[in-house]
Amino acid sequence: MCIKPKIAFLGPKGTFTHEVASTLGDDLRAFCSVDVVMDSINNGCDFGVVPIENSTEGQVGTTLDALVQKNNVKIYGERVIPINQNLLSSKGTKKENIVDVYSHAQALAQCQAYVTKNNMNPHFTLSTAAAAKSVKKINNSGAIGTLKAAELYDLEIVDTNIQDLKNNETRFVILSREDHPITGNDKTSILFSLSDDKPGDLNGVLSIFAANEINLTKIESRPSKKGLGKYIFFVDFEGHRSDEMIKYILNIIKTKTSFIKILGSYPNTMI
């Protein structure tokens, strides 16, 4: 008998994270924070799905901070999806009759030109899903949200792809207790901090990749919360941690950092 994987995701239902989680299976569990999603992997769930960066808004700080603290999870995979916002409303509602529009602050910001052009009054909600759930109770109102939310709350899709920028994408990571076996087309994510603030320390670490012809695909920094000027660096690079060359590079980096953590190796989908 095939056992279905249990999949945790950052809720509520009806969000883009829910859409990504739905591609992995149908035994889905919504949780209220990134921390709880990660904890759930040691409490019965097989996978967790959380956002990690957006092409217009940048890194998701809560996810990066949680990856620093949690030792029970590895990045098993990634998904990149277009963020296409939609105008939703009760069945039979026409766009010209919508006076008030509800959504999460980020979604409203992404659709500001559309909202202004159509003379709608914007109202903030805790999530796009919360907006979708509420508009059925409010006359002449609409919600900005996902197609999944329209399905869940039995709403009509009044208009599609209403975001101001058409190339907006979000990258999600799939978490598990182990990372992904080597495929031959992989990337590895690590984080590290430096022991001193000497000029050239960061360059000394990054130059190891260049010297060994390993391509970096991302570098971000986050405050370490240990004082001003103290940072943790997140780096993604091509290759799997079980590759002999990657093992060699990681061993050198360990000698040049005060702390290093391998977040996982997984198939590289962003090429």
**CATH number of residue 100's parent domain:** 3.40.190.10
155, 219: one domain: no
32, 139: one domain: no
* Residue 145: inside a domain: yes
- Structural domain harbouring 250: 187-264
pLDDT tens for residues 118-150? 999 999 998 888 999 889 888 899 999 999 999
pLDDT of 34 above 80: yes
How far is the first Cα of the chain from the last one, in angstroms, to the nearest whole number? Answer: 36
- Read off the pLDDT band of 199 (50, 70, 90): low
* Residue 2: inside a domain: no
Indicate the number of domains in the chain. Answer: 3
pLDDT tens for residues 134-191? 898 888 999 999 999 999 999 999 999 999 988 889 999 999 999 999 999 999 999 9
* Residue 59: inside a domain: yes
Among the residue ranges 10-14, 183-187, 188-192, 235-239, the one predicted with the least confidence is 10-14
93, 76: one domain: no
101, 130: one domain: yes
Task: Give the separation between CA 169 and CA 165, rounded to whole angstroms.
Answer: 10
Task: Tell me what the mean pLDDT of segment 242-265 comes to.
Answer: 94
* Residue 243: inside a domain: yes
